């Protein structure tokens, strides 16, 4: 029986000769080659298609075996490849551009009974991309046009799904996402990292994870209530999720709709629009690890149960500085236009009990908060906060 080194050299001799059939004869049928960054290729069909594409794209491609290291049935091969991207074939969909490549790679082969039964291939993808002119040349740095394009894409992604966290107060940051940056997610410093208060839409989960990583990672997720634009990103955060007991069943439900909503009140074209938005925002039913109740403490905040918009809506209030994170107790964005507005209750189509919601706003006013951050829109701040809340609590209709 031939050694692993002999089989490896036989395999690379076939590649050096550009003899795909001879190379594949070294493989056991059904065995796989895991190419780092690309995925697994199975023998013979997957590998045949791979090398056929490679040789058609680089008609002068040459492999060279540099050295091998063998241990029992395994052989590590260091190799070099050079060629010109002259075509006529394409490479990963790219049209031939005449670029010359010279790369090195490593392949770990596992051999049994004179055949390759598995392999892992490591290639410097960035080096290939630079040589194919897809990335700036080494040392070019920020001058590369692709860097500018990538930064523009990042800026757009952050604008839509949440950008840089903004400081709200000591130990508290807000991440704002959505088309109009209308969804507010709060990061609260915790002894284990950060507690995430609300999670916006499902597309915000990546931005939330990235922002939280700066402050020690996510310790837990707390939902003010289970509406889809508040629970949407929670499933993608990889942390325990908590809410009020009266929101638990809705948070666990696969449905994006609450049974008391009346989307017919939106009128005209807004109803079908919101039906699409709700489905887009929602991340599906959640596993709830625990619940919060009135009077519980969370990272220096007191939990207040303030129903009306939703049966189990909770508000976080910090007496030390008068900061209130109030979710949909009120909003400062008009749901019909997406434009800023004076503080108001969420649209009637989404409220459980308007009178109860106003009563809850009155309870908050009595605490005389200094800053009130809603789940949608900009905060209320300054000496007139209590007066604004009292007007909202007393308003008719």
pLDDT, tens digit (0-9, with 9 covering 90-100), for 114-149:
999 999 999 988 888 888 887 776 655 544 555 565
CA distance 151 to 145: 10
4-135 and 165-394 have identical folds: no
Q: What is the dihedral of CA 320, 326, 330, 334, to 10 degrees?
A: 110
pLDDT of the residue at 210: 87
- Distance separating the N- and C-terminal Cα atoms of the chain: 88
CB contact set of 288 (below 8 Å; sequence gap of 6+): 241, 242, 243, 248, 251, 252
CA distance 234 to 282: 10
pLDDT confidence band for 274 (50 / 70 / 90): confident
Contact in structure between 131 and 102 (CB atoms under 8 Å): yes
What CATH number does the domain located at 165-394 have? 3.60.15.10
What percent of the chain has pLDDT above 70?
Answer: 91
**63-67, 160-164, 302-306, range with greatest mean pLDDT:** 302-306
Contact in structure between 393 and 365 (CB atoms under 8 Å): yes
- The mean pLDDT value for 301-325 works out to 97
pLDDT confidence band for 393 (50 / 70 / 90): very high
CB contact set of 330 (below 8 Å; sequence gap of 6+): 343, 344, 345, 346, 361, 372, 374, 389, 392
pLDDT confidence band for 241 (50 / 70 / 90): very high
**Preceding peptide of 44 cis, ω within 30°:** yes
Q: What is the dihedral of CA 274, 275, 281, 283, to 10 degrees?
A: 160
pLDDT of the residue at 227: 95
CB contact set of 67 (below 8 Å; sequence gap of 6+): 77, 78
pLDDT of the residue at 35: 87
pLDDT of the residue at 188: 96
What CATH number does the domain located at 4-135 have? 3.10.450.50
CA distance 220 to 240: 5
What are the residue ranges of helices labelled H in 40-186? 45-57, 125-131, 145-161
Q: Report the relative pairing of strands 115-123 and 27-35 from DSSP bridges.
A: parallel
Judge whether residue 266 has pLDDT over 80. yes
List the beta bridge partners of residue 292.
244
User: Among 149-158, 264-273, 283-292, whose mean pLDDT is lowest?
Assistant: 149-158
Contact in structure between 168 and 374 (CB atoms under 8 Å): no
Coil, strand or helix at 105: strand
pLDDT tens figures, 145-198: 555 655 655 655 655 555 678 999 999 999 988 765 679 999 999 888 899 999
DSSP assigned state of 94: B
Coil, strand or helix at 186: strand
Contact in structure between 289 and 242 (CB atoms under 8 Å): yes
**81-95, 123-137, 364-378, range with greatest mean pLDDT:** 364-378
DSSP assigned state of 306: -
What's the whole-number average pLDDT of the chain?
Answer: 89
Contact in structure between 294 and 304 (CB atoms under 8 Å): yes
Q: Report the relative pairing of strands 380-381 and 371-374 from DSSP bridges.
A: antiparallel
DSSP assigned state of 136: P
Which sequence spans correspond to the domains of the chain? 4-135, 165-394
CA distance 233 to 206: 8
Between the alpha carbon of residue 76 and those of residues 9, 23, 31, the distances in Å are 11, 17, 17
Between the alpha carbon of residue 394 and those of residues 314, 357, 362, 390, the distances in Å are 21, 11, 8, 6
- The mean pLDDT value for 43-58 works out to 93
pLDDT confidence band for 356 (50 / 70 / 90): very high
Judge whether residue 112 has pLDDT over 90. yes
Judge whether residue 359 has pLDDT over 70. yes
């Amino acid at each position: 029986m031939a050694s692993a080194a002999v089989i490896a050299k036989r395999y690379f001799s076939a590649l050096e000769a550009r003899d795909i059939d001879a190379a594949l004869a070294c493989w056991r049928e059904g065995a796989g080659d895991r190419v780092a960054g690309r995925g697994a290729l199975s023998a013979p069909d997957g590998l045949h298609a791979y090398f056929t594409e490679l040789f058609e794209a680089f008609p002068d491609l040459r492999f060279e075996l540099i050295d091998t290291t063998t241990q029992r049935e395994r052989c590590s091969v260091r190799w070099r490849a050079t060629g010109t991207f002259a075509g006529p074939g394409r490479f990963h969909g790219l049209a031939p551009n005449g670029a010359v490549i010279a790369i090195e790679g490593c392949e770990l082969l596992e051999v049994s009974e004179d055949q390759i039964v598995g392999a892992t291939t490591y290639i410097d993808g960035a080096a290939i991309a630079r040589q194919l002119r897809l990335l700036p040349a080494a040392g070019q740095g920020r001058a590369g046009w692709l860097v500018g394009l990538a930064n523009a894409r990042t800026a757009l992604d952050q604008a839509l799904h949440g950008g840089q966290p903004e400081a709200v107060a000591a130990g508290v940051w807000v991440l704002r996402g959505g088309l109009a940056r209308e969804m507010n997610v709060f990061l609260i410093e915790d002894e284990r990292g950060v507690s995430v208060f609300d999670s916006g839409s499902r597309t915000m989960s990546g931005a939330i994870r990235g922002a939280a990583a700066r402050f020690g990672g996510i310790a837990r997720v707390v939902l003010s209530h289970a509406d889809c634009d508040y629970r949407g990103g929670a499933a993608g955060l990889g942390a325990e999720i908590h809410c009020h007991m009266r929101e638990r069943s809705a948070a666990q439900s696969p449905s994006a709709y609450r049974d008391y909503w009346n989307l017919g009140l939106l009128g005209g074209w807004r109803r079908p629009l919101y039906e699409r938005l709700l489905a887009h925002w929602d991340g599906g039913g959640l596993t709830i690890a625990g619940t919060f109740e009135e009077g519980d403490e969370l990272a220096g905040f007191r939990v207040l149960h303030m129903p009306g918009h939703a049966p189990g809506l909770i508000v976080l209030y910090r007496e030390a500085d008068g900061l209130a994170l109030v979710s949909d107790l009120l909003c400062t964005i008009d749901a019909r236009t997406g434009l800023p507005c004076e503080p108001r209750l969420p649209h009637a189509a989404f409220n459980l009990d308007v009178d109860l919601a106003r009563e809850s706003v009155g309870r908050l006013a009595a605490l005389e908060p200094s800053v009130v951050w809603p789940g949608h829109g900009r905060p209320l701040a300054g000496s007139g906060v209590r007066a604004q809340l009292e007007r909202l609590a007393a308003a008719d209709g």
